[in-house]
Amino acid sequence: EPGDLITAVTLPPPPPGRQTYRKVRDRASYAFALTSVAGIVNCDGGKITDAALAFGGVAPRPWRDAGVEKALIGQNATRESFDAAADVLLRDAEGHGGNDFKIPLLRRTFRAVLSELCEV
């Protein structure tokens, strides 16, 4: 009601897994990311059981790709499975001359984030 004071907010528990955000910038003084990857990935016994990922800096807006998440779930946490998921992520990627470097940069950033989250 008008005039009420909120004294607490209860949030749901975070999803299982490790969480991280990696932002790659041209220089520390620039706020804009060349590319970024945010992720929550759950690995159990070296196998990816759940994944939620978001990507930024390489499109007009941040986005998620359900196909990438689906490609990871059930896979062993290996460089090969990370590369296969990156192939799904970048399947339609096109550079526009001056930003062609962002495609391999996103691939490397994506692989690094998955390695960190899965501790491999």
Residue with tokens 């779930």: 73
Q: Look at residue 12 and tell me if it is in a domain.
A: no
Which residue ranges in the chain fall short of pLDDT 50? Answer: none
Q: Look at residue 1 and tell me if it is in a domain.
A: no
Specify the CATH number for the domain of residue 55.
3.30.390.50
Residue type, 71: A
What pTM does this model have?
A: 0.86
Q: How many CB atoms lie within 10 A of CB 87?
A: 12
Residue type, 4: D
Number of domains, the chain: 1
Q: Provide the residue range defining the domain that includes 95.
A: 18-118
Q: Look at residue 8 and tell me if it is in a domain.
A: no
What kind and span of H or E run contains 60? Answer: none
Rounded distance, CA 88 to CA 2, Å? 50
59-88: pLDDT as tens digits: 889 999 999 999 999 999 999 999 999 999
CB 19 within 8 A of CB 52: no
- Look at residue 76 and give its three-state secondary structure: strand
Q: What is the pLDDT of residue 91?
A: 93
CB 6 within 8 A of CB 14: no
CB 111 within 8 A of CB 60: no
- What radius of gyration do the chain's Cα atoms show? 17
Q: Look at residue 56 and tell me if it is in a domain.
A: yes
Q: What is the pLDDT of residue 31?
A: 79
